[in-house]
Amino acid sequence: MDDNKLYKALLKSQSERRQVENDRGEAKVEENFRKERPYAGSDRDKPNWTRVETNDNEHPPTVYDSSVSLSLIGNPKPWSREQLRERKIIYSGMADKEVMDAYRELRIQLRNRAGDGNFIVMFSSLGKGHSGLLTAYNLAAAFALDSHTSALLVDCDPYGKELSSLVSSPMTSGVTDFVADRSLKIQSILYPSGVERLTVIPAGTQASSAVELFSAVRMRELITELKARYPDRCIVLNTPPFQENTEARILERFADQIVFGVPFGEVTGEVIEDSVDALGSDKFSGLIFQE
């Protein structure tokens, strides 16, 4: 083979090798990005491209890297262990290991059921007038304890007032305000919780029109946008009691999985069965018994 033919053969070989690498999704040297770190126990290895929450509007990141993006989730006023214990918020190393292990088991079961990617869990209490917010908050906190995962608690119970006592930063606008006012941006309703890697969105101030607002197109746009921001995020929707409010039935459409809370001594087996039947969906994932 003369030099000219050898040179052309080498060029063809290099071109074919690059094509194979592109087909495999392998990164080129000049692209210089790191692959997404998968969930613990997951075998996902494909990088995800998405936006992350940041105050740098001029130079937003374009490549998703969980080790970088998760560090951007601010927590300016972290709760101390004493403050977490006072508020009955779970944390790693807490004295009541049984409670901590129960939330870890919930996290494992919900994640296994969801498979790869992020997902939305709706939590609703079956008790009459019984708020499930603390349970929903701790469920989100359980996901946030995983260093490779972020969590977002979206409080969609406009009648509850407990969230402000569980969050270390003052909150103003929330879900209903965002849906009602198109001038509001998503960043204006996101608040650091005091727990690392856990962000919260309050219900807002428009309680009287919550049913209509939760049914609006802008509500669907909000949930879609929130779910797209992080590929390794778990979103927990806290809703009013399922048996007493229309809001929970409306919000069910946004959930990938649904968990009911059962207050101790308040709910019969018949009520549980009726609630699951009324749901009429394969999204039902289980029960959490609340003290």
HEC sequence for 171-224: CCCCHHHHHHCCCCCHHHHCEECCCCCEEEECCCCCHHHHHHHHCCHHHHHHHH
d(CA 208, CA 116): 38
Give the Cβ contact number of residue 172 at 10 Å: 11
In this prediction, residue 79 carries a pLDDT of 95
Read off the pLDDT of each residue in 257-279 and give the average, rounded to a whole number: 89
pLDDT of residue 52: 44
pLDDT of residue 54: 47
CATH architecture of 66-290: 3-Layer(aba) Sandwich (3.40)
Q: In whole angstroms, what is the distance from residue 143 CA to residue 111 CA? A: 9
**Predicted local distance difference test score (pLDDT) of residue 37:** 34
Look at 279 and 100; give whichever has higher pLDDT.
Answer: 100
Please indicate whether residue 58 or residue 183 has the higher confidence score (pLDDT): 183
3-state secondary structure 87-148: CCCCCCCCCCHHHHHHHHHHHHHHHHHHCCCCEEEEEEECCCCCCCHHHHHHHHHHHHCCCC
Q: Once rounded to an integer, what is the mean pLDDT over residues 117-128?
A: 91
Domain layout of the chain by residue ranges: 66-290
Q: How confident is the model at residue 13 (pLDDT cuts 50, 70, 90)?
A: low
Mean pLDDT score across all residues of the chain:
80
Q: What share of the chain in percent tops pLDDT 70?
A: 75
Say whether pLDDT at 51 is over 60.
Answer: no
Please check the confidence at residue 246 and state whether its pLDDT lies above 80: yes
Residues 150-166: tens digit of each pLDDT: 899 999 999 988 999 99
Mean pLDDT (whole number) for 69-92: 86
Quick one: pLDDT at residue 137?
A: 97
